């Protein structure tokens, strides 16, 4: 076997691995589309029932063919406040069970000759291509994508297996696996490293199964490598948690602790078994189906054993990652790019973040008006500082909404996002008008001007009505309540009527010289800004009442797609 063409072996194996990865991802994508929001909504079963969480995690992972992807989504859910750390533990445990599905798919070829990759691959690819290209129904196209993904996965597996066959007679390769089997730590490290690099335990198990078809892998090295693979798969979630909240980091830590503790326990049991119980088994070549069995038994038993100690895992994670999150007001608190994979919740959280921005703008309007009445420089500066936060939130939310609008969404979700763009723009304008009022307060202080008691009473009435209108509009938006939205509209009309009345009264005061002309200019400018606040509040309410409103060219220019 010294005349092995290593280039052909490497190209065949790597090419097959690439095709295997593509097939696995393409099949998972098709399964997600076929299941639709029902599958994605499984992760939204936010419950303290950890057993249900295990089932949800296993089901979602079985569909998307990646425990890493499920765990990353869980980290995103925790970071965005959609899921508590305790709720996440069960889903993380279940994800490990769900990831074993791929290994069983790969094992099909050992059960009957018809299910061999070389037979199934071309059949699946032909059927998948025909359905994807010629089916008229979208659901049929999704099924075609699943079947094509199966075919690509099997073709990749067949290529890897064929590439590995020339190595079966190579003593150096066999000796390498013998060394991994005799040294548990080295075997675990190998499995962890390979999985960490390719960031998929399903894919690394597939590689091991391809090598097993060439009778290269003994039982002992296979088990230690599988245990290492379960540790290595944690790297994706750990990397994903960088820059996230402490709770999100803890979720990734729970995933790591769960797999690490389980791997240590089973490594000890395996070591005892190979040393004292069945020493002859360690050197026997493992079969593909046996790898699937070992992978499944480990994950199921690990969940069964550690499930009662979920609170302990949370306790350990909280001590490894101590302290509380201190989020800045200008940071996005409900938005996380990891949950873009679940658009239903991404849209819901976008609404939450926009409402939070609106509440900040409402607070700024109240402080600006009070600064005007009190001529308080500290409050004026507070308004200016908060306006920077509002602008920062506008930029961050619009950037997120652009990304969200480019994922697969339902027609209703597209409509909601269009409304969110409008509302963010209206809220930002409310912030601008609050800033204008603060600048008018600054002008009163600098020029030592004063309003008459009548003017102050009039301003209090119109500002109270405008801010109440804005408050109701935000409530209507938060809860999607058309009744509240309808209640906000008459207030806007009242503000319009008051503005006309106040202007008329003020002109009479100027004519009778009962009002300072410079203070009068500030008064009229304040009334104008307050009226504009109610206009934008009305726009927000109208967004709830008229959900089919489309973006204008001017508004589109405010948030171009980068």
- For 233, the token pair is 């798969």
Query: Taking the domains of the chain in order of start, what are their residue ranges?
Result: 6-320, 337-558
Residue 517 has pLDDT above 80, yes or no: no
Residue 329 has pLDDT above 80, yes or no: no
pTM > 0.75: no
Phi, psi for residue 410 in degrees, rounded to 5: -80, 165
What is the predicted pLDDT for the residue at 560? 38
The rounded percent of the chain whose pLDDT value lies above 70 is 85
Which tens digit of pLDDT belongs to each residue from 429-481? 999 999 999 999 999 888 888 887 888 888 999 999 999 999 999 999 888 88
The beta-carbon contacts of 373-382 under 8 Å, at least 24 apart in sequence, are 373/456, 373/459, 373/460, 375/441, 375/444, 375/445, 376/441, 377/442, 377/445, 379/438, 379/441, 380/438, 380/441, 380/442, 380/445
Residue 411 has pLDDT above 80, yes or no: no
- In this prediction, residues 81-94 reach a mean pLDDT of 82
Residue 562 has pLDDT above 60, yes or no: no
Residue 548 has pLDDT above 50, yes or no: no
Per CATH, domain 337-558 is 1.20.58.220: yes
- 444 contact partners, CB below 8 Å, separation of at least 6: 372, 375, 450, 451, 519, 522
Greatest mean pLDDT among 68-72, 84-88, 269-273, 408-412 lies in: 269-273
Average pLDDT, the chain: 81
Q: Count CB-CB contacts under 10 A for residue 332.
A: 20
Question: CA-CA-CA-CA torsion for 182, 186, 191, 193, nearest 10 degrees?
Answer: -170
Model confidence at 104, pLDDT cuts 50, 70, 90, reads confident
What is the predicted pLDDT for the residue at 300? 92
Which tens digit of pLDDT belongs to each residue from 472-506? 999 998 888 889 999 999 999 999 999 888 888 87
Which tens digit of pLDDT belongs to each residue from 8-23? 778 887 888 788 778 7
Model confidence at 45, pLDDT cuts 50, 70, 90, reads low
537 close to 470: Cβ distance less than 8 angstroms: yes
What is the predicted pLDDT for the residue at 383? 93
What is the predicted pLDDT for the residue at 555? 41
375, 459, 500, 520, 524 from 452: Cα distances, Å: 14, 11, 19, 10, 13
Residue 336 has pLDDT above 90, yes or no: no
Residue 123 has pLDDT above 80, yes or no: yes
Least confident of 236-250, 354-368, 397-411: 236-250
Residue 44 has pLDDT above 70, yes or no: no
- In this prediction, residues 515-524 reach a mean pLDDT of 78
Model confidence at 115, pLDDT cuts 50, 70, 90, reads low
253 close to 148: Cβ distance less than 8 angstroms: no
What is the predicted pLDDT for the residue at 339? 76
Model confidence at 89, pLDDT cuts 50, 70, 90, reads confident
**Residue in this structure with the two tokens 């619009």, named with its chain if needed:** 398
59 close to 101: Cβ distance less than 8 angstroms: no
């Amino acid at each position: 076997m010294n005349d092995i063409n290593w280039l052909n072996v490497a190209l065949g194996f790597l090419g097959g691995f690439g095709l295997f990865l593509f097939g696995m991802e393409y099949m998972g994508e098709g399964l997600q589309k076929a299941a639709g929001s029902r599958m994605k909504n499984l992760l939204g079963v936010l419950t303290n029932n950890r057993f249900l969480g295990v089932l949800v995690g296993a089901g979602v992972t079985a569909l998307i063919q990646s425990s890493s992807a499920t765990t990353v989504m869980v980290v995103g859910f925790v970071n965005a406040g959609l899921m508590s750390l305790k709720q996440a533990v069960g889903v993380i445990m279940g994800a490990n069970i769900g990831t074993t599905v791929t290994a069983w798919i790969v094992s099909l070829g050992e059960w009957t000759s018809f299910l061999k990759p070389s037979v199934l691959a071309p059949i699946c690819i032909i059927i998948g291509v025909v359905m994807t290209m010629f089916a008229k129904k979208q659901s049929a196209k999704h099924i075609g994508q699943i079947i094509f993904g199966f075919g690509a996965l099997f073709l990749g597996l067949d290529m890897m297996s064929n590439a590995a066959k020339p190595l079966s007679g190579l003593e150096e390769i066999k000796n390498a696996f013998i060394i991994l089997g005799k040294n548990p730590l080295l075997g675990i490290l190998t499995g962890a490293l390979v999985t960490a690099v390719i960031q998929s335990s399903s894919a690394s198990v597939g590689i091991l199964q391809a090598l097993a078809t060439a009778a290269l892998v003994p039982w002992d090295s296979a088990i230690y490598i599988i245990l290492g693979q379960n540790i290595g798969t944690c790297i994706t979630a750990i990397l994903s948690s960088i820059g996230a909240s402490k709770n999100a980091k803890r979720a990734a830590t729970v995933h790591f602790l769960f797999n690490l503790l389980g791997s240590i326990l089973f490594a000890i049991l395996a070591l005892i078994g190979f040393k004292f119980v069945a020493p002859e088994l360690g050197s026997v070549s493992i079969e593909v189906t046996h790898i699937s069995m070992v992978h499944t038994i480990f994950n199921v038993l690990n969940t069964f054993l550690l499930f009662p100690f979920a609170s302990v895992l949370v306790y350990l994670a909280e001590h490894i990652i101590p302290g509380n999150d201190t989020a800045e007001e200008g940071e996005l608190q409900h938005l996380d790019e990891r949950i873009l994979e679940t658009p239903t919740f991404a849209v819901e959280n976008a609404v939450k973040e926009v409402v939070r921005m609106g509440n900040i703008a409402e607070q700024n309007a109240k402080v600006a008006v009070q600064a005007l009445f009190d001529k308080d420089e500290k409050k004026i500066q507070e308004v200016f500082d908060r306006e920077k936060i509002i602008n920062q939130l506008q930029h961050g939310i619009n950037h997120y909404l652009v990304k969200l609008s480019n994922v697969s969404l339902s027609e209703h979700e597209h409509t909601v996002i269009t409304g969110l763009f409008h509302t963010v723009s209206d809220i930002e304008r409310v912030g601008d008008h609050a800033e204008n009022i603060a600048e008018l307060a600054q002008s009163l202080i600098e020029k030592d001007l004063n309003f008459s008691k009548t003017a102050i009473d009039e301003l209090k009435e119109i500002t109270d009505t405008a801010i109440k209108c804005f408050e109701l509009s935000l409530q209507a938006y938060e809860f999607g309540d058309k009744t509240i939205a309808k209640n906000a509209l008459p207030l806007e009309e009242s503000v319009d009527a008051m503005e006309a009345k106040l202007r008329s009264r003020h002109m009479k005061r100027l004519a009778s010289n009962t009002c300072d002309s410079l203070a009068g200019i500030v008064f009229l400018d304040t009334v104008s800004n307050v009226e504009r606040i109610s206009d934008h509040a009305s726009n927000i309410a109208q967004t709830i009442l008229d959900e089919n409103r489309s973006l204008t060219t001017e508004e589109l220019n405010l948030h171009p797609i980068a």
